Amino acid sequence: MNVDFSRNHFDLLGLPLSYAVELPRLEQAYRALQGSVHPDRFAASPEAERRVAMQWAARANEAYRTLRHPVDRARYLLSLQGFDTGEESNTAMPPEFLMQQMQWREALDTARQAGEAAVLEALRGEIDAQRRSMLALLATALDGQRDYEAGCALVRKLRFLDKIEASIDDALADIEDAGQ
Amino acid sequence: MAYSDKVIDHYENPRNVGSFGKDEEGVATGMVGAPACGDVMKLQIKVGAGGVIEDARFKTYGCGSAIASSSLVTEWVKGKTLDEAASIRNTDIAQELALPPVKIHCSILAEDAIKAAIADYRTKHAGEAPADKKAAD
């Protein structure tokens, strides 16, 4: 058993190199791979072989985690194409998009302070609808048009939506805790 | 992670929070965002006679370091010419606030915000005689 670290996540899990991923197939491939390298199977094996199995298990976990998340998967696919999504360095988002983020953040702050769970739920629904339409655009950009610049821009936008959704979930959890 | 005293000071007593009126003379706006952390920053400058920044305002949604970085920049740019303000570097901000490496992107965001505001001012006033010339006429 050799660990070939040059194989990409898709190859490792026996999936075609595309943004569209059938989640049941990903799940199945991950379980099969994970089962074949499970430490229990190597309990009686020499030390070196056990270490290799551990490395495989770690690789399989990383591949699965990355490919399961729709934004991480896009970022990874873009990196394989030589495109950097610039999430750490690119701050020039379209003004109307940033204006929308400001409005959402304001609405979130107001609702959190007032403890209005229903308002937060509605806001989350609005953001999630946008997120879904952006994910559809991302699939078209990556698998259809192969417009990788557009793909990078969508990944950057989706990161904002993921962050604000996480903040809304935190606020909702706080309200629930306070109500108990 | 511990914040420096300067970050805490700017976070607890942010300087120049808010916005200018839309139609105020000489106002320009820079808006930027950091995808990695979801921070959004709006920085406005009010440029007076002589091309000098008279006042500045900011609104930032983000962590303490992002708020402190923008608060600090609004203080720094007051009284500066556009060129002087454009020469502010994120490293100056990071050093002043003693930001740890993982928060350097907050200072980059603040530098990009002031640059965007200056660019907005220059776009709006393109083709006009420089403000200092007008004041001298």
Are B46 and B20 a contacting pair, CB within 8 Å?
yes
pLDDT value at position B136? 44
Could you identify the residue written with the tokens 């708020």?
B67
**Residue A94 touches partner B, C-beta closer than 8 Å:** no
Put simply, the answer to whether A164 touches B40 (Cβ < 8 Å) is no
Between CA A161 and CA B35 the distance in angstroms is 9
**pLDDT by residue (tens digit) across B103-129?**
998 999 999 999 999 999 999 988 775
Residue B92 has pLDDT above 90, yes or no: yes
Mutate which of A91, A98, A106 to test chain B, going by most B C-beta atoms within 10 A? A91
Which residues in A lie closer than 8 A to residue B105 (C-beta atoms)?
88-89
Considering only CB atoms, A91 lies closest to which of B32, B59, B61, namely: B32
Residue A106 has pLDDT above 60, yes or no: yes
**Residue B116 touches partner A, C-beta closer than 8 Å:** yes
Q: Looking at domain A95-179, which CATH architecture does it have?
A: Up-down Bundle (1.20)
**Residue B111 touches partner A, C-beta closer than 8 Å:** no
Residue B137 has pLDDT above 50, yes or no: no
Residue B135 has pLDDT above 60, yes or no: no
Q: How confident is the model at residue B22 (pLDDT cuts 50, 70, 90)?
A: confident
User: What contacts A45, CB < 8 A, 6 or more positions away?
Assistant: A53
CA dist A81 → A9, A18, A20, A85, B41 (Å):
14, 11, 16, 11, 31
In chain A, where the domains are located: 9-68, 95-179
Q: How is domain A9-68 classified at the CATH fold level? A: Helix Hairpins (1.10.287)
Mutate which of B17, B37, B40 to test chain A, going by most A C-beta atoms within 10 A? B40
**Taking the C-alpha atoms of A112, A115, A116 and A121 in order, what is their torsion angle to the nearest 10 degrees?**
60
Between CA B125 and CA B134 the distance in angstroms is 12
Token duo for residue B93: 């901000």
Residue B76 has pLDDT above 70, yes or no: yes
**Residue B35 touches partner A, C-beta closer than 8 Å:** yes
Residue A80 has pLDDT above 80, yes or no: yes
Put simply, the answer to whether B33 touches A93 (Cβ < 8 Å) is yes
Hey, which residues of B are catalytic here?
A: 37, 106
Residue A2 has pLDDT above 70, yes or no: no
CA-nearest residue of chain B to A166? Answer: B38
User: What contacts A172, CB < 8 A, 6 or more positions away?
Assistant: A117, A120, A121, A124
**pLDDT by residue (tens digit) across B43-73?**
999 999 888 999 999 999 988 999 999 999 9
Token duo for residue A53: 């199995």
pTM value surpassing 0.80 = yes
- pLDDT, average across residues A83-93: 90
CA dist A157 → A148, A167, B65 (Å):
14, 16, 22
pLDDT value at position A3? 56
